[in-house]
Amino acid sequence: MVTQHSLEGKIALVTGASRGIGLAIARSLARMGAKLALCARDPKRLEGVAEEFERAGTSVLAVSTDVTRAAEIISLVHKTEKTLGPVEILVNNAGIGYSAPVQDAEEANWDAVLDTNLKAVFLLTRAVAPGMISRRSGQIINIASLAGKSAFAGGSIYCASKWGLLGLTQCMAEDLRSYGIRVSAVCPGSVATDFSPHAGKDTSKMLQPEDVAHAVEMILTQAPQSFVSEVLLRPAQKP
């Protein structure tokens, strides 16, 4: 059962944390007592989020970071360890969308989406895994998508990134489970954020960022002898 202090003193790193799903997850983890390391690309928005948590009494470190760059990832993890302590929870949430027929896409579109949605997860995991392995504990949650399960017109690049993320997640879980590290994926359908357009949809019937945060809460409060490897999240009604 999720309680207000379920994660008391735990150090959680959340990417893409300045808005939408990432911000909802950060708020949930703060309510559960975690100390937060937050990153995003927009320094001004990130600063405002950090001030919100500081006013609420949450220990927080906010670092503007390009998660596609290995050097910036290493710096982020180093700053987190120096300021808060070792990363015990990693939520790989940062992502970008793109939709166009494959014949109209450019190489730059492929690089931007795959680097952000897939490569960044590899870089972040590689940066925190050694510490988790030495402590023989840790949790990594990758925010994937139902687009990693289903094909649709215009989705070639985005779906490729999310199908790849699910494969990466499953292999990471096998690599790390013997060290007491649990790796999970959350696969939501369309969420009512500004991540993508929702023309013609009733956003009140769509998934909300807090629904994804709730799934993360559930994963983080599992019994120690098991782990939820994947959560598929759909709205109760089609919007």
Q: Which residues are catalytic?
A: 158
CB 36 within 8 A of CB 107: no
* CA end-to-end span of the chain: 30
Tokens of 124: 């972040």
What angle in degrees, to the nearest 10, is found between the helix axes of 70-83 and 120-135?
Answer: 40
Query: Residue 222, SS3?
Result: coil
What angle in degrees, to the nearest 10, is found between the helix axes of 209-220 and 20-31?
Answer: 40
Residue-level length of the chain: 239
Amino acid at 32: M
Tell me which residue of 207, 169, 81 sits closest to 132, measured CA to CA. 81
Task: Annotate 99-146 with DSSP letters as a single string.
Answer: ---GGG--HHHHHHHHIIIIIHHHHHHHHHHHHHHHHT-EEEEEE--G
CB 84 within 8 A of CB 30: no
- Identify the burial level of 8 via C-beta atoms within 10 angstroms of its C-beta, where 0-12 means exposed, 13-18 middle and 19 or more buried: exposed
